[in-house]
Amino acid sequence: MSLWVPDAGGGSRWAPLLRTSLGAALGMGVTSCLYLLLVIAGAPARPVVIGLEVVALIVAGAGSLRRNAAPTTPPSITAFSLTWVLAGAALLMIALFLSAFLTASELNPQGGWDAFAIWNLRAHYLLHTETWRFAVTSQPMGSHMEYPLLLSSFVARGWLYADAPSASVPISIALIVSLAFAALLGSMLSVLRSPAVGLLAVLVLLANPYLWRAAPDQYADLPLALFGLSAAAMLVLDPAPQGSPRYLTLAGMFTGFATGTKNEGTLLLVALAAALLAATWRGAGPRQAIRRVGFLLLGALPVLGLSLWIKIFAAPPDPLVSGMGKDLLHKIGDAGRWMHIAAGFFQGLPAVALILLALTAALLRPRPATERSPACFLPLAAFAILLAGDFAVFLLTPDETGWLLATALDRLYLQLWPLLILGGFLLLRRPEDFAIPAVTAPPPKAKRARRSS
């Protein structure tokens, strides 16, 4: 991570946590793809996997030391006197989350249905070259065998290291991803805005009950959301006014990992590319907009190419995609279907978390227009595009919409939630902006000497 973008986070004291969180997401994506390629190539032996990863780690570490950027001094701001209260509340929420996670994982170590029947089941097939095609077979070997393989590959890699398909591996992965998720959002906003804003964002993130359920269920929506947030982080952290190719290609790489995690990752790539195109076009013109999107797509290309190769040449057809064209005009023209889906989207909102975010926005109030850059609007633009795309999928799906709203909507909101929080806090003022600076008393005036008569 530090090898490619050594100046991420600048000289902020939150920069190490930011780089660690991004490094966790990058490491998960890179090692998953490397292991999957080794399985396909017929060399998934433990010495080969460990040897390649150790060499890559040494090269990255040496390059990081050579490219260590000079630390920049962050701008000083007036301290918020209640930051310690927010820190205590955030630590309490994290402790409660950990307790709930460990309790749920102890009661159900196999995770939710999707983890048991999709991700972890396919990981068993990825342990050996001779069986990897069963992970994408059209035979009745499991559920949704057309789904991407990145998460299953990471679980299989963990089992290879553990020398056994232990339930502790996917549980540990879910826990690490959840903590990296919260750490990334909090540290990023602490760097970009202030520590108080970062702590508030963590509180709002953990106020979403869907996160508390999805983490012990070991669903792929959490890694997908982590990759999406990491990609957005690269776009808003980019210090170059004209757009740094390093930040843009790394953002593209994270979106590529998202496409390899779930089918919704492809929509995430489209949403971030469209949001980046619109934001740059408005601020810097069409030429710069096309250049930045080009670097983003260039970073996504390797993993996207691997995912497309598996989908085209190995995996069975996706019934969701193949069934969308059936009765297309009837679905689009059915007003009742529109109303039913819209009502389901509204009823499925995480009410408590949204109320907390709205109250925070009402208290902090928007930033002045002079302080807002086009990049501040990018996460919200991507959020809006994703929400519209998800609505279109629900509208055109061949599945029964009531069942889909009941089983998939909460996980879709979990994918969108971090982008909404990030975009919201980038457009709001900081608690530090309301601090009253200390007033120094003026020096006493010297008394005039009396004029002698």
**257-268 confidence digits (pLDDT tens):** 999 999 999 999
Contacts 24+ apart (CB under 8 A), 19-25: 20/180, 20/183, 21/180, 21/183, 21/184, 21/187, 21/230, 22/184, 22/230, 22/233, 24/176, 24/177, 24/180, 25/180, 25/184, 25/226, 25/227, 25/230, 25/254, 25/257
Q: Is the pLDDT confidence value at 450 over 60?
A: no
Cα–Cα dist 238/374, whole Å: 12
pLDDT given at position 388: 95
Please indicate, yes or no, if residue 112 is contained in any of the structural domains. yes
* Percent with pLDDT over 90 in the chain: 61
**What is the 8-class DSSP label of residue 281?**
H
- Other CB atoms within a 10 A radius of the CB of residue 42 amount to 11
Contact of 415 with 452, CB cutoff 8 Å = no
Amino acid at 223: P
Q: Rounded mean pLDDT of the chain?
A: 87
Number of domains in the chain: 1
Give the pLDDT confidence of 154-187 residue by residue, as tens digits.
Answer: 999 999 999 999 999 999 999 999 999 999 999 9
* Percent with pLDDT over 70 in the chain: 88
When pLDDT is cut at 50, 70 and 90, the band that residue 438 belongs to is very low
Please indicate, yes or no, if residue 333 is contained in any of the structural domains. yes
Give the pLDDT confidence of 11-46 residue by residue, as tens digits.
Answer: 788 888 999 999 999 999 999 999 999 999 988 888
Please indicate, yes or no, if residue 7 is contained in any of the structural domains. no
Give residue 272's domain range.
15-69+92-430
Q: Is the pLDDT confidence value at 3 over 60?
A: no
pLDDT given at position 143: 73
Helices 15-41 and 286-313: angle between axes, nearest 10 degrees: 40
| Lowest model confidence (mean pLDDT) among 70-74, 85-89, 249-253, 433-437 | 70-74
Please indicate, yes or no, if residue 444 is contained in any of the structural domains. no
Please indicate, yes or no, if residue 105 is contained in any of the structural domains. yes
For 137-161, what is the mean pLDDT?
87
Cα–Cα dist 6/4, whole Å: 6
pLDDT given at position 342: 94
Q: What is the DSSP string of 293-355?
A: HHHHHHHHHHHHHHHHHHHHHTSPPPHHHHTTTTTHHHHHH-HHHHHHHHHHHHHTS-HHHHH
Please indicate, yes or no, if residue 410 is contained in any of the structural domains. yes
Please indicate, yes or no, if residue 449 is contained in any of the structural domains. no
